């Protein structure tokens, strides 16, 4: 397991060497795995987790459905609400559906509309790992929305290298390091041999050079 001090040192170095920009850059880590067969679905990682200090921005959320779930979505300040007819319409507008899939980070869907979502939006959301979280009737989505606002999703598919957003350059190095530490612990917990399956980890800003964490 990598020490927090080691993570913090790498984050500070990455921030020091990042080119000066007039905008906030994202900070990501790149994880390279080893001694694991990613062709086996059981070995793949597909996680959504709440970061201790958030991602540095409020993640955008879509709710699909009708009735009570839309009322709650409005109260929670959800960024986009899509009803049944709109789901079907987007199925015939691939360019618009792709844009939506790229712009929004998390999707929640009433269980009643999941078949429609799978049929009309599945081809756009599925490959991006953004298929909606099914919401059973009577569920209060407001705490779910609040949690997702500061969450990050990451998955490996069949590759041994993957990336995780852990913050942005407006955050303190300590906050970013704490996020990285939490992500690493989650990854180690789901890997068959824990830290032994991790070859290396690097941290970098969007435009800056990568710094080795481990």
Tens-digit pLDDT profile for the chain (214 aa)? Answer: 778 999 999 999 999 998 888 888 999 999 999 999 999 999 999 999 999 999 998 899 999 999 899 999 999 999 999 999 999 999 999 999 999 999 999 999 999 999 999 999 999 999 998 999 999 999 999 999 999 999 999 999 899 999 999 999 999 999 999 999 999 999 999 999 999 999 999 999 999 999 999 9
Per the DSSP assignment, residues forming a β-bridge with 63 are 81, 108
**First-to-last CA distance in the chain?**
9
Cα-Cα-Cα-Cα dihedral of 25, 30, 59, 186, to 10°? -140
Question: What predicted TM-score, i.e. pTM, was given to this entire model?
Answer: 0.86
C-alpha span between 121 and 141 (Å, rounded): 21
User: Which domains does the chain carry?
Assistant: 4-56+152-212 (3.30.190.20), 61-149 (3.40.50.790)
Backbone angles phi, psi at 100, to 5 degrees: -65, -45
């Amino acid at each position: 397991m990598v020490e927090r001090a080691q993570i913090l040192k790498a984050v500070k170095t990455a921030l020091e060497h990042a080119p000066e920009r007039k905008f906030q850059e994202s900070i990501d880590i790149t994880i390279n795995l080893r001694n694991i067969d990613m062709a086996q679905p059981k070995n793949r990682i597909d996680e959504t987790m709440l970061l201790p200090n958030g991602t540095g921005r409020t993640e955008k959320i879509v709710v699909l459905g009708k009735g009570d779930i839309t009322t709650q979505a409005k109260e929670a300040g959800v960024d986009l609400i899509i009803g049944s007819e709109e789901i079907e319409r987007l199925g015939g507008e691939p360019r618009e559906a792709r844009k939506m899939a790229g712009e929004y980070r998390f999707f929640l869907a009433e269980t009643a509309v999941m078949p429609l979502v799978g049929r009309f939006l599945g081809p756009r959301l599925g490959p991006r790992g953004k298929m909606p979280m099914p919401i059973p009737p009577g569920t209060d989505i407001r705490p779910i929305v609040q949690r997702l606002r500061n969450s990050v999703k990451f998955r490996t598919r069949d590759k041994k290298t993957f990336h995780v957003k852990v913050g942005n350059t407006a955050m303190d190095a300590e906050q970013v390091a704490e996020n990285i530490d939490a992500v690493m612990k989650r990854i180690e917990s789901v890997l068959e041999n824990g830290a032994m399956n991790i070859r290396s980890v690097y941290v970098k800003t969007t435009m800056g050079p990568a710094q080795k964490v481990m």
